[in-house]
Structures are given as C-alpha cells and as structure tokens.
Structure 1
Amino acid sequence: MKLGSLFKSGRGDKPVFPWKPLNQEEQLEQLLQDSADRPQVVFKHSTRCGISSMMLRRFENIWINEEGADFYYLDLISFRGLSAMIADKSGVRHESPQVLIFENGQVKAVASHSAIGELSL
C-alpha cells in the first residue's frame, strides 16, 4: 500500500493532512537538525492495528490546522528498524501508536495510545 492512498480517501471537504513519509535514516537526522528551527512531529503507526488507525484519524482531526511544525508518518511494519533507531536516539521506549515531538534535537513531548489525543505543541 502506498502512503498517499492512506490519506486521500475522499473525506469530503477535509484537507489532506500534510504528512511527510519517514522511511530513511537520513530523514531522521535531518528532522533532528530541523527541530532547531521548528517542531518536528513523528507519528509512529502500525498499519495492522485498529487502535493505531483510530488514533491516527483522531490526531489528523485535532492537528489539521496546526502550523509551524513538520509532520512525519512512520509505517512501523515497513520500517521497523527506523522505529528502533528513533527509540535509541530519543531514549523513549517504543510503543504503537506513538507521537514524538522534537525541538532542538531533543524530545519535547511524547504520547502513546489514547494519550495522543491530549498532546499539544
């Protein structure tokens, strides 16, 4: 399944969420550098988990008009190694679904499961 097909499902007038697919180690390094200028948000999503899908939709609904941040989507099934690298670099134990917000190369906030809906910049 291509990433784009997850987010262009004909949901009426709702804008398509501005996800950047996260699928390479170099992107992780770049987003950590970019976090010095603006928050970098990473959504770690399991495409095989109903709870993860529900939280992804909730996250999109809450954050759709958020400006001033870059949003990255990590498919945990396809890029498990990259997820482990994020856990190593951040010091945050992997969970799914999980959202991490990076600022100045460090984790500013993290939320997993239902707590994702309460997360803010």
Structure 2
Amino acid sequence: MSKTLVQSVEQFEELAKENGTFLLFKNSTTCPISHAAYEEFENFAADHNEIPLYYLHVQEARSLSNYIAETYGIKHESPQALLFKDGKVVWNASHWKITYSSLGENVK
C-alpha cells in the first residue's frame, strides 16, 4: 500500500476520523537512525496493504508532531512509529526498535 505524507493538524484530524486503524511514522530528515527506520517502514509499506500508512517529516511538521505527542500522551521521539486504533495509540516504537518484523508483528 502506498504511504501518504501528513503535514498539518487538520489533515491528521481528518485521517484519524476516517480510519479506525492506521500506522503513522514520524521521520527526522537529518538523523541516520531515522533514515534506517524509514527504510524499514518503506519496505513494510511496499508489502502490506492491511491498513492505511502515513508519515510526517518532523522538521517540516513540528507543530503536528507536538500535537500528536500532547493529544495522545506519547513522548515525542524520532524516528517513531505509532499504531492508532479507535482513537488511541495502541503500540509505539522508536529508533532501532522500528523494523520490518516489529511493524509486521504489531500491525495485525
């Protein structure tokens, strides 16, 4: 399934309303660890279409990243993967814990 870039709080609110379950990846465009995790996310996205997949670039969407951390009570990290179900974050991982297999195990 393709992944979609999210850039604003309004866009995020809309997709959260439309999707009961979705995965969001927070990417830092300047961090090598984030780059490696983003590659894992991209590989996962290429092979899976069970749920919608979204991502944001923290440097370009700082207010959105902060909004998600504050609204859902999840400490901001980047890279970070967040699995949303029914308006709640049910799983999250950061840094080296974001792998193709960890995404597959938790996105069922």
TM over 0.5: yes
The normalised TM-score by structure 1 is 0.78
Deviation per residue, 1:18-37 (Å, 9 max, x gap): 1211101111112221232x
Q: Could you tell me how far 1:65 is from its partner in structure 2?
A: 1.6
Comparing both chains, which one has the higher relative contact order based on Cα–Cα distances under 8 Å and sequence gaps of 6 or more?
Answer: 2
Larger Rg: 1
1:4 matched residue in structure 2 = none
User: SS of the counterpart of 1:30?
Assistant: helix
| Structure 1 residues not aligned, in runs of 5+ | 1-16
Rounded Cα–Cα distance in structure 1 between residues aligned with 2:90 and 2:19: 10
Q: Is 1:64 the counterpart of 2:65 in the alignment?
A: no
**Where has structure 1 moved over 6 Å in runs of 4 or more?**
none
Of all paired residues, the percent bearing the same amino acid is: 36
Rounded Cα–Cα distance in structure 2 between residues aligned with 1:27 and 1:43: 15
The normalised TM-score by structure 2 is 0.87
Rounded Cα–Cα distance in structure 2 between residues aligned with 1:106 and 1:35: 12
Structure having the higher helix fraction is 2
| Structure 2 residues not aligned, in runs of 5+ | none
